[in-house]
Amino acid sequence: MSASPVLELKGLSVALPAGADRAHALDGVSLSVMRGETLCLAGESGSGKSALALAVMGLLPRGLRISAGQVLLEGEDLARATEARLRELRARRMAMIFQEPMSALNPVLSCGAQLDEVLAVHTRLSAPERRRRVDEMLGEVGLADAPRMLAAYPHQLSGGQRQRVMIAMALLLEPALLIADEPTTALDTTTQAQILALLGSLKARHGMAVVFITHDLGVVADVADRVAVLRRGELVEAGARDELLRAPRHEYTRALVASLPRLEPRAAQSDAAASPLLAAERVSKTYAGGGWFGRRREVTALQDVSLELRRGETLGIVGESGSGKSTLARCLLRLTDATQGAIRYAGEDIGALSGTALRALRKKMQIVFQDPYRSLDPRRRVGDSIIEGPLNYGAPRAAALERARRLLALVRMNPDALGRYPHQFSGGERQRICIARALALEPEVLIADEAVSALDVSVQAQVLELLDELRERLALALVFITHDLRAAARLCDRVAVMSHGRVVEYGGAREVLLTPQHAATRELLAAVPGRAYQFWQPGTSPRNDSPGRG
Amino acid sequence: MTDAARSDSSWRRALASGAVRAGGGLLLALATLALFAPWLGTVDPTLFDTASANLRPGALGTVLTPDGGSAPHLFILGSDAYGRDLYSRVLYGARVSLAVGLFAALLALAAGTLIGIAAGTLRRADGALMRVMDGLMALPAILVAIALVALWRASLGAVIVAIAIPEIPRVARLARSLALALREELFVDAARALGTPAWRIMQRHILPNMLAPLLVQGSYVCASAILVEAILSFLGVGLPPEIPTWGNIMAEARLHFSEAPYNLFFPGAFLAATVLAVNLLGDGLRDALDPRALERR
């Protein structure tokens, strides 16, 4: 292993255009990555992680420029390299993979054509030689059925397969440096675990240096040799993985580590003997498509789902994407009608309700969606959104606005927000507004559909805490839908695990998460990033040599 | 990425755009000329005096007044073969063109939006409505307009309706796609969960979010309607020849092109300026109101 680093940043600064919220996207960052080493860049949105990756690749968007410092790739300063040289280096010596492989691949070319193009442009290999190299690479990234993969277009592949194709493409020319920008964030946890393992083995085999960008400290624990924490463009702390995750020195790093929920379910707080408030009885939902000129086809989204929810408890619904979690939420709210089975609210079948009775039901159940950017009408003021529910039920405007003020205070926001538009708020703030809107009707059931998944870890921790506090104060029954078992463990009294439209395991959070019975549950648990890793916990001494649980 | 102003200040951004200012300003000037035509040195555009036929622009001549007398008049843009004042005729013609553009656009927008929303929200009506729209779109707009005007008595209202009808399918398609996309928005689901009745979701959440793209489409309909009206008049199947429209003036001027070419030139220039103004306004609005415009810059 050579002693000189593959990538070295010396006092790298990237200037933002005038009028941005700060002067620099990156401010004097110095880092280095050796051969065969993975450096994790951790940080929240706006920390400058991606700007760093793009600066190294010479792909900074217009308006951003390197204002000071050096980017040394195998000793060559990229900050002063010509565009032609950068293009050459990007293919041969450094490569990048992105969060969303669908947008990084060309949708109108087959994967084979795109892989072949890399070799055709940058090497003098003949067509059969290129084909052999591509086949070899596909085998390495675990895409066994090479002919089918080569003929497939990106949309015909699953997210995991697409990311594997991206990795194959990045590694075709044996680069010395691989930059991975949140490569698993858009994937399911089990797929994420496979991709992380794949990257690890490829790194070991090819001895490249990897810069791995992620917001998820669990992932950091799984893949990093060393870690650098960025905040608002500045390097907060850097060091070996165990040093940084088990004995963080900087205040911010500690806060980040502490905001990662532990995978330790809490004891159930609900009274198992109480009668259920909301119950699903053998609910099934099939979607029928086609008609007119197309052929009819049916998709089963839910099959024989039975669940119960009691007052004051949190029921977690966990599973991979496509397992039917959101469909179940929509059925529970009767935003969609179930095809079979019954959903009972306080004993009454809500499928039979209509008109006034349905309106009365709507008042009692509310939902907070995953995407805070799409769940508020961009053309309506926050205040108008919050009072929409109460106005629907005949509340006077002034009283509703007064209540909206108190609700904003309850979700810890400034009541001045009432007169502003959604675009003026961050994702976390918008999610709080959505929670306030849901609470405005004083519901008895609140359904949170991946409500914290799109948020930064520290904001996520705050919103989780807020939800738990509100559940307790307002005696809400909370349905918490998530793919994140850590968040589920933090919040839920009982957990239902869904797989392919069925509930495969259902019980107290402790039983389900500590002694899983079903294979799907075990698989989910095994895929939780950083599961076996012991992180620093508040209360322990950062200098402690054997950091354990506080 | 700055997530600056999207809703209210996108209108402010529209006002700051050069295209919107140029197009809007030109259109405003034309509308002022049309509206205040009687006080801008014009005479009744139907008055004639064969003694003053085919005068050059800026020439002095006479017009016969309705009471049988003769009055001196300055022909700013010259006169036509019957000795009618071209300036007065072009200004009064602007009234017709602008009215046709405005009302045809409003009519097409209203009908198209209604049909589009119905198709986008009522599953059962969708197939039938859109196939009718597809059928209508397959017919050439001018032929449909000619057929409709021929069917009715040629009045301003008939011409407007005849021009608006072939434009409806395009608006309906746009409105349908907007309604389909908005219906799936989470904020619409949230409103349903809040107990908002369907008609009020339409009025509060769906229509306001459709407005900007529809307005842009409306401006293109307006420009096209002005042109189609001129073409109909020019072909002699639009408004009757005694009503001064740019198309009618040009149709008559064609016969006397060698003696009085400006009779063709001035209405043509006004027509081109109007259509250009409306298109500029539409392009400017599209760029300013497109939510993706922010990211593109």
**In the predicted model, is pLDDT for residue A493 greater than 50?**
yes
Chain B CA closest to residue A19? B2
Q: Residue A271's pLDDT band (boundaries 50, 70, 90)?
A: low
- Identify all chain B residues contacting A359, using CB atoms and an 8 Å cutoff: 195
- In this structure, are strands B59-64 and A502-508 parallel, antiparallel, or unpaired? unpaired
Q: Is residue B149 part of a domain?
A: yes
Cβ contact B194:A367 at 8 Å: no
Q: What ipTM was predicted for this assembly?
A: 0.77
pLDDT in tens, A199-216: 999 999 998 999 999 988
Give the chain B residue nearest A355 (alpha carbons): B197
CB spacing of B191 vs A374 below 8 angstroms: no
What pTM, to 2 d.p., does this model score? Answer: 0.80
CB nearest A375 (choices: B5, B8, B186): B186
| Parallel, antiparallel or unpaired: strands A38-42 and A209-214 | parallel
Residue A143 backbone dihedrals phi, psi, to 5 degrees: -100, 95
Is A388 close to B204, i.e. CB distance below 8 A? yes
Q: Is residue A436 within 8 Å of A404, Cβ to Cβ?
A: yes
* CATH number of the CATH domain containing B181: 1.10.3720.10
Q: How many domains does chain B have?
A: 1
Q: Hey, are the CB atoms on A423 and B197 less than 8 Å from each other?
A: no
* Residue A362 confidence (pLDDT) above 50: yes
Instruction: Decide: B156 and B100 in contact? Cβ < 8 Å.
Output: yes
- Determine contact: B184 vs chain A, CB below 8 A: no
pLDDT in tens, B99-121: 999 999 999 999 999 999 999 88
Is B163 contained in some domain? yes
Query: 3-class secondary structure for A253-291?
Result: HHHHHHCCCCCCCCCCCCCCCCCCCEEEEEEEEEEEEEE
How far is A364 from chain B, CA to nearest CA, in Å? 9
Nearest CA in chain A to B189: A335
pLDDT band at A444 (very low <50, low <70, confident <90, very high): very high
Burial A86-120 (b: 16+ CB within 10 A, else e): eeebbbebbbbbbbbbeebbeeeebbbebbbebbe
Task: Identify the CATH assignment for A278-287+295-527 out of 2.40.30.20, 1.10.3720.10, 3.40.50.970, 3.40.50.300.
Answer: 3.40.50.300
Identical fold, A1-93+175-258 and A278-287+295-527: yes
Contact of A445 with A277, CB cutoff 8 Å: yes
Residue B49: inside a domain: no
Question: Contacts of residue A393 in chain B, CB cutoff 8 Å?
Answer: 195
Q: How many CA atoms lie within 13 A of B25 on its CB side?
A: 8
Placement of tokens 């409806």 in the chain: B168
Could you tell me the pLDDT band of residue A222, with boundaries at 50, 70 and 90? very high
Q: Is B185 in Cβ contact with A379 (below 8 Å)?
A: no
Whether B7 and A378 lie within 8 Å, measured CB to CB: yes
Contacts of A331 in chain B (CB under 8 A): none
User: Taking CB atoms and an 8 Å cutoff, what residues of chain B touch A60?
Assistant: none
Q: Which of A292-301, A424-433, B92-101 has the lowest mean pLDDT?
A: A292-301
Q: What is the pLDDT of residues A122-168, one digit of tens each?
A: 889 999 999 999 999 998 898 878 888 889 998 888 888 899 999 99
Amino acid (one-letter) located at A337: D
B193 touches chain A (CB under 8 A): yes
Asked, for residue B248, whether it belongs to a domain, the answer is yes
Mutate to test the interface with A, among B3, B183, B187 (most CBs of A within 10 A): B187
Q: How confident is the model at residue A263 (pLDDT cuts 50, 70, 90)?
A: confident
A60-101 per-position pLDDT tens digit: 888 888 999 999 999 999 988 899 999 889 888 999 998 877
Question: How many Cα neighbours within 13 Å face the side chain of B229?
Answer: 39
In degrees and rounded to multiples of 5, residue B25 shows phi and psi of: -65, -45
Nearest CA in chain B to A360: B195
Q: What is the mean pLDDT of residues A406-435?
A: 87
Angle (CA) B50-B55-B60 rounded to 5° is 95
Give the Cβ contact number of residue A277 at 10 Å. 20
**Nearest CA among A308, A241, A280, A243 for reference residue A477:** A308
**B185·A359 Cβ contact <8 A:** no
List the structure tokens of A543: 């200098």
Q: Is B198 on the interface with A (CB under 8 A)?
A: no
pLDDT at B71: 82
Q: What type of residue is A500?
A: H
The rounded radius of gyration (Å) of the Cα atoms in chain A is 25
Tell me whether residue B58 is in a domain.
no
Return the CATH number of A1-93+175-258, one of 3.40.50.300, 3.50.50.60, 3.40.140.10, 3.30.470.30: 3.40.50.300
Number of A:B CB contacts under 8 A? 77
From A390, which residue of chain B is nearest by alpha-carbon distance? B194
Residues of chain B positioned with their CB less than 8 A from the CB of A363: 195
Q: Structural domain boundaries of chain A?
A: 1-93+175-258, 102-174, 278-287+295-527
Q: Which of A249-258, A263-272, A397-406, B142-151 has the lowest mean pLDDT?
A: A263-272
CB contact under 8 A, B205 and A374: no
Q: Per DSSP, what are the bridge partners of residue B212?
A: none
What is the pLDDT tens value at each position of chain B, 297 positions in all?
333 344 456 677 777 788 889 999 999 999 999 999 888 878 888 888 888 888 888 888 888 887 878 888 888 888 888 888 889 999 999 999 999 999 999 999 999 999 999 998 888 888 899 999 999 999 888 888 888 888 888 789 999 999 999 999 999 999 999 999 998 889 999 999 998 988 899 988 999 889 888 988 999 999 999 999 999 999 988 888 888 999 999 998 888 888 888 889 999 999 999 999 999 998 888 877 765 444 433
pLDDT of residue A102 exceeding 60, the answer is yes
> In this complex, is the C-beta atom of B295 within 8 Å of any C-beta atom belonging to chain A?
no
Per residue in B204-240, pLDDT tens? 899 988 988 898 899 999 999 999 999 999 998 888 8
pLDDT of A453 above 90:
no
